[in-house]
Structure 1
Amino acid sequence: MRKQGVHMRICIVTEYFPGGEELNIRGGAEACAFNEALKLSEKHEVTVLTSRTPENPENYRCGNMEVICCGPVRSYVQAGSITGRLSFMLSAYREGLKLDPDAVIGYNFITHPVAWMIAGKRNAAALARYHDVWIGEWVRNIGVSGILGELLERYTLSRRFDRIVAVSEYTAGKILERYPWQQVSVVHNMVDFRTPPVRKTSTPSIACVSRLVEYKRIQDLIRAVSVIREKFPDIRCRIIGTGPLEERLRGLARELAVEDNVEFMGFVEKHADVLEVIAESWVFCLPSVVEGFGIVVVEAMGCGTPFVAARIPPVMESSQEKGGLFFEPGNWRDLAEKLELLLSSGELHERLSSEAADVFRDYSADSIGRKLERVLTEVTGRDE
């Protein structure tokens, strides 16, 4: 029986969901699922199917949401873990069959097919929250474990979803280019937080939040720092994130004699601490050449920190080409030039910070929540 005032019963399938007392968020898809589930649960009945982890060993409630933990206990991973992921998928599917949802939404490549199958069995609307299309690129981007992603994504996009909800026009275009018969809507990521009350560092500083993998091009940032150090010998570059290229990147920093300028901070557990590092830095840098949206750039804008990013369509779209500077993808000399320009000009820094604040408001929970809710009411046939 429905609660009074609840319009829809929504099942969200996400590989990971914040757990523990701190509700720490560790990745973009997880942040997207959590923020949207939290907002939708204000008016609707939301059930979340997620992995059983050391932080989430048992089912629990989070605000108005019921969170069901599925599969064997396993730690957070960004790639690989094929057996563990398949076990989670099967368990989530079985748990989903016990529900009676109006809509089922999958939030990443291993949950899209699960959501589609649950929806089919329970006569519910099937939706896929889509961040980027990697067909033909999985193995190149993350190695041999990308074979599973390649197979699942091809399977997902060959299904007829009631709606695919892309995080950007760029991603929507990539889907429709291959699958023009799919029904696709664009709802940008929700990025909504209070800016940490911190001051900028006393010396020039750069922040970067990224997985340490080839397509993120952290090597370009390290090479750029080696150039910038000639003008700013005390430059500090803090890199948050882990990945298979960490030792190679540390070696590059030593080779270029900037190991004292570049700090590898590894995995920072609390998202608030990540935001604090961004907020106190003079510049945020995203050298990545592969993104579906570029949520960290929007987070930097919310922190009042201008950015320098590769000129790629999704980041240009998410930033509205305001609040920062763009460089030619893969060109570390151009990156160094843009970073140096922004570090040198207080007037430019102030203007871009002001622009960023205006753009950030477009990604508020209320604004994005209304757009997502409109899509859900369309596919379920229910009035708001």
Structure 2
Amino acid sequence: ECLSNAVLACSKSPAPGQRRSTPVTQRIFQVGSGWFPEHKGGAENVFYNLHLGLEKLGFESCGIVPGKGQAEIDTQGRFRSFPADASMLSRARAIRAATDELLRPRPALATSHFALYTLPILDKLRALPLVVHFHGPWALESAAEGASSHSVRVKKLIETAVYRRAQRVIVLSEAFGRIAQEHYGVRDSALRLVPGGADLSAFTTQGSRAEARTRMGWVEDRPVLLAVRRLVRRMGLDRLIEAMATLRQKQVDAVLYIVGKGPERLALEELVRRHGLEDTVRFAGFVPDELLPVAYRAADLVVVPTAALEGFGLIAVEALASGTPVLVTPVGGLPEVVSGLSPDLVLPGSDADSIASGLAASLTMPGRLPDEAACRRYAEANFAWPVISERIAAVYRELI
């Protein structure tokens, strides 16, 4: 009920594939958390691809991002970079100086993708309509990963100051909409729900599953499960490893490859050793972007075992675009991503036993899951960037 207005507003957006008449070019000012070719993260991926998509819809973007200058090169100076590793005071000064230049001539709209870099210029954006892209609750995610209470409080104050200033807050899921309201006081009338997008073209031409496994050097005679995650506590990888131990006890054979890096690597490796799962759970480490579609294609099943605070689930979309079904825990916005394709893709819970139960059913009854063609069609119809860019542009136009 709390998202009734947000859902209603989404219904006013163009239907997938339907484009509005090309508008007069509108100049918008954007604050990002990074430039995707330089910084590989989910929010940075969205920021970069949305910038490209909006240009095709009549929006000319300028703005600021942390980085080493690639954004300035790619946009002929319309985006300015500042050093991400400088002191916060130095970053704030650089942000304010660049903003002074970029706000002439005055844009029609400002957008924020990261509160920390928006706060230093809130006063300069006072005369502009402001749209916040809520990629996740920074403070709550920090708390879930063990940050100090002081750090969490400061982050929440920063986020709240920016979010309450916005005329529109775009959330990735109903789950994140509730968090924006309950934890940050965002008005229901300001919320708009638009899921994340993905560049699906990279995930649709990876050859056969056997060819992909050969290229990755993965086993070819056993079912392959894949988890692509940052190795931090809230990602639920410890529960997935416990579930793999349960599968072995039930004599359900499979190999799990964990792709990613992070501070929990040693603890997770110790958990694998404790259960004697060295032949069942394998750490693949960092996989470069050009190989990630191959990894998705090589798997029989992708698993997203998140334990807390998952607002969207880009990994789930990328897996589906590769033709590989994906099982997700019923956490945050994950069920919203896959349940429209099949309710069987949502695990019964996020604990180890529930994950094991869902994996066992999927591995022993593979016909219950969507096939390759259905996965690809669903991803294209719901999450391709042209579809998502049009929906976000419709939100911007409400304020222009």
TM band (smaller chain): 0.7 to 0.9
- The residue number in structure 2 matching 1:326 is 346
1:327 is displaced (CA, Å) by 2.2
Whether 2:174 is the aligned partner of 1:169: answer: yes
Whether 2:355 is the aligned partner of 1:335: answer: yes
Query: TM-score, normalised on structure 2?
Result: 0.80
**Residues 72 and 80 of structure 2 are in contact (CA less than 8 Å); yes or no, is this contact kept in structure 1?**
yes
- Inter-CA distance 58–210: structure 2 relative to 1 (3 Å threshold): closer
String of CA shifts for 1:262-282, please: whole Å, max 9, x gaps.
222333332x32222112101
What CA distance in whole angstroms lies between the structure 2 residues aligned with 1:343 and 1:68? 49
Aligned residues: 355
Q: Which runs of 5+ in 2 are unaligned?
A: 1-21, 214-219
1:136 is displaced (CA, Å) by 5.5
SS in structure 2 opposite 1:143? coil
- The residue number in structure 2 matching 1:98 is 101
1:33 is displaced (CA, Å) by 0.3
**Residues 35 and 65 of structure 2 are in contact (CA less than 8 Å); yes or no, is this contact kept in structure 1?**
yes
**After the TM superposition, which of the residue ranges 178-187 and 286-295 deviates more from structure 2?**
178-187
- The residue number in structure 1 matching 2:131 is 127
What CA distance in whole angstroms lies between the structure 1 residues aligned with 2:38 and 2:340? 30
Whether 2:228 is the aligned partner of 1:214: answer: no
What CA distance in whole angstroms lies between the structure 2 residues aligned with 1:92 and 1:105? 14
- Inter-CA distance 165–93: structure 2 relative to 1 (3 Å threshold): farther
Identity %: 21
What CA distance in whole angstroms lies between the structure 1 residues aligned with 2:382 and 2:191? 21
| Structure 1 residues 1-384: aligned runs within 5 Å | 7-18=25-36, 23=37, 26-42=40-56, 43-53=58-68, 56=69, 59-62=72-75, 66-70=78-82, 72=83, 74=85, 84=87, 87-99=90-102, 100-114=106-120, 116-120=122-126, 123-133=127-137, 138-144=142-148, 145-157=151-163, 159-177=164-182, 178-180=185-187, 183-194=190-201, 195-200=204-209, 201=213, 202=220, 203-230=222-249, 231-233=251-253, 235-270=254-289, 272-289=290-307, 290-323=309-342, 325-349=345-369, 351-360=370-379, 361-380=381-400
Q: Which runs of 5+ in 1 are unaligned?
A: 75-82
1:192 is displaced (CA, Å) by 2.7
- Inter-CA distance 85–224: structure 2 relative to 1 (3 Å threshold): farther
**After the TM superposition, which of the residue ranges 327-336 and 185-194 deviates more from structure 2?**
327-336
- Inter-CA distance 34–118: structure 2 relative to 1 (3 Å threshold): farther
String of CA shifts for 1:52-89, please: whole Å, max 9, x gaps.
23xx4683125x8833211x364xxxxxxxx6456434
Q: Which structure's relative contact order is higher, taking Cα pairs within 8 Å and 6+ residues apart?
A: 2
1:315 is displaced (CA, Å) by 0.9
**Residues 172 and 333 of structure 2 are in contact (CA less than 8 Å); yes or no, is this contact kept in structure 1?**
no
SS in structure 2 opposite 1:45? strand
1:124 is displaced (CA, Å) by 2.1
**Residues 331 and 350 of structure 2 are in contact (CA less than 8 Å); yes or no, is this contact kept in structure 1?**
no
**Residues 50 and 69 of structure 1 are in contact (CA less than 8 Å); yes or no, is this contact kept in structure 2?**
yes
Query: TM-score, normalised on structure 1?
Result: 0.83
SS in structure 2 opposite 1:60? helix
1:353 is displaced (CA, Å) by 4.0
SS in structure 1 opposite 2:278? coil
SS in structure 2 opposite 1:111? helix
1:196 is displaced (CA, Å) by 3.7
1:134 is displaced (CA, Å) by 5.5
What CA distance in whole angstroms lies between the structure 2 residues aligned with 1:65 and 1:363? 30
**Residues 198 and 280 of structure 1 are in contact (CA less than 8 Å); yes or no, is this contact kept in structure 2?**
no
